[in-house]
Amino acid sequence: MSLIIFAIPVFFLLIGIELLIAKMKNLSYYRMNDAIANLSCGIGSQVSGIFLKTFTFIGYTYLYDHSIWKIENNILTFILLFIGVDFFYYWFHRLAHEISFLWGSHVVHHQSEEYNLTVALRQAWLQGAFSWVFYLPLAVVGFSPGVFITIASLQTLYQFWIHTKLIGKMNPAFEYVFNTPSHHRVHHGVNPKYIDRNHGGTLIIFDRWFGTFQLEEEEVVYGITKQTNSWNPLWVNFEYWIDLFKEAFRVRKIKNFFLMMYKMPGWKPEELGGVQPLKEVTPQTFHKYDTEISGGLTNYAFFQFVLVLLSTTAFLVFQSKTPFQENWALKISIATLIVFSLVNIGGIFERKSWVLVLEYLRVVAVSVLMVLLLKNSSLFLAATIAMTILAVVSLLWFTKYRNEFTGKTSEYASTANI
Ligand SMILES: [Zn+2]
Ligand SMILES: [Zn+2]
């Protein structure tokens, strides 16, 4: 089982602690709609990882098997591999910020306009399809796939705790070598001087060496230059690429099409108006994307989200065991229902009219699938009764708030702040 899945309870414990401290200090670091959108992106990336990792692991293992060297596993080679993973992560991450097409695979991590531990889990669903290529030199020199996966997971885990505003600057010696909350806040900044700085994973030294380091000075404004304005985790994963291709297909010179894919995000040829200068921002002038729904509907969305979170965690744990193992049709059906659920929850926060139909469909589909999964088990009868009750309660609860989807915006106070 992946180390990341093992860490899920710790992630939520730390999120709870951060939320509590922020609340006690009267700091509004969390908004419900933003936090759920972040976590939805995280759930989706774990689910897409089931499919992506199968292919990327085969690629890495193939190169390792055909490598003329095999590096033995000891403490020294673990440290070397850790530095190697961090070095290639730095280059993937830097190029993902500097090449327009690749930015589409990473932008999701930067869309949140808050900065808290849930942002760490906001991961793009297709980033792994691009990043794995950068690590292949490690297979060629003979670092074994098993140890590589472990070290790469540790490097990802490290990056969790640096997504917080609660920790200020740390010991200067530590800040010099390692990536810290202060360095990484800069990385998430939309202030012109902070854009495309501090790409490091665990270490910050590569940024110092390769000229991309920036110290945290004025207050960071979080997000991306072209705001996302959506809580829909599926849409936010593809919006950038859709916009990029739409624009690129408008050019008349074919060379400009490729330049738009390859140059910095936001780069445009003269025929499309050229590059626009970056705007200065301050926390006072920056308007965060927000939506308003009633407290009752927020509770409903939160409850459904918790159910999706728990069932996805169970799926991630059991997906490599019977009856899921090798049953790709079943895995795809469950993954589709998870994404469908997350899209609906995002739609509820945006009060999209299509949710009115799709939420009924979703609740019924989830219940039917759960019952079918347990049809040969001793729990079948109990599960059928429990799922029927849950579905009826959910649908009655949701129906209570039907009128919030009719387009009248003025009658609900914002309940977003947690
Ligand atoms: Zn980044
Ligand atoms: Zn980050």
What's the CA-to-centroid distance between 181 and ligand 2, angstroms? 9
What's the CA-to-centroid distance between 299 and ligand 2, angstroms? 28
What's the CA-to-centroid distance between 382 and ligand 2, angstroms? 43
Which ligand is nearest the CA of 123, by number?
A: 2
Which ligand is nearest the CA of 131, by number?
A: 1
What's the CA-to-centroid distance between 208 and ligand 1, angstroms? 16
Which ligand is nearest the CA of 89, by number?
A: 1
What's the CA-to-centroid distance between 199 and ligand 1, angstroms? 6
What's the CA-to-centroid distance between 147 and ligand 2, angstroms? 24
Burial (CB < 10 A; 0-12, 13-18, 19+), residue 394, is buried
Q: How many CB atoms lie within 10 A of CB 392?
A: 12
Dump pLDDT digits (tens) for 263-272: 999 999 999 9
What's the CA-to-centroid distance between 227 and ligand 1, angstroms? 16
Q: How many CB atoms lie within 10 A of CB 187?
A: 25
What's the CA-to-centroid distance between 121 and ligand 1, angstroms? 13
Contact 402, 16 (CB under 8 A): no
What's the CA-to-centroid distance between 364 and ligand 1, angstroms? 38
Which ligand is nearest the CA of 93, by number?
A: 1
What's the CA-to-centroid distance between 277 and ligand 1, angstroms? 21
What's the CA-to-centroid distance between 384 and ligand 2, angstroms? 42
Q: Distance between CA atoms of 76 and 194, rounded to whole angstroms?
A: 35
What's the CA-to-centroid distance between 160 and ligand 1, angstroms? 13
Which ligand is nearest the CA of 120, by number?
A: 2
Contact 349, 83 (CB under 8 A): no
Q: Distance between CA atoms of 359 and 218, rounded to whole angstroms?
A: 44
- Report the share of the chain in percent with pLDDT over 70: 97
Which ligand is nearest the CA of 92, by number?
A: 1
Dump pLDDT digits (tens) for 238-256: 999 999 999 999 999 999 9
Q: Distance between CA atoms of 23 and 417, rounded to whole angstroms?
A: 10
Which ligand is nearest the CA of 108, by number?
A: 1
Which pLDDT belongs to residue 365? 95
CA–CA–CA angle 18, 21, 26 (5° rounding): 120
What's the CA-to-centroid distance between 187 and ligand 1, angstroms? 6
Which pLDDT belongs to residue 370? 87
What's the CA-to-centroid distance between 121 and ligand 2, angstroms? 9
- On the question of a cis peptide bond just before residue 269, with omega within 30 degrees of 0, the verdict is no
Which ligand is nearest the CA of 112, by number?
A: 2
Which ligand is nearest the CA of 184, by number?
A: 2
Which pLDDT belongs to residue 412? 57
Angle of helix 295-318 versus helix 380-399 axis, rounded to 10:
150
Low-confidence ranges of the chain (pLDDT < 70): 1, 407-418
What's the CA-to-centroid distance between 340 and ligand 1, angstroms? 27
What's the CA-to-centroid distance between 136 and ligand 1, angstroms? 21
Which pLDDT belongs to residue 137? 97
What's the CA-to-centroid distance between 252 and ligand 2, angstroms? 37
Which ligand is nearest the CA of 199, by number?
A: 1
What's the CA-to-centroid distance between 161 and ligand 2, angstroms? 10
What's the CA-to-centroid distance between 106 and ligand 1, angstroms? 7
What's the CA-to-centroid distance between 376 and ligand 2, angstroms? 44
Report the DSSP beta bridge partners of residue 203.
178
Contact 93, 209 (CB under 8 A): no
Residue given tokens 């219940």 in the structure block? 367
What's the CA-to-centroid distance between 383 and ligand 1, angstroms? 43
Dump pLDDT digits (tens) for 208-221: 999 999 999 999 99
Which ligand is nearest the CA of 94, by number?
A: 1
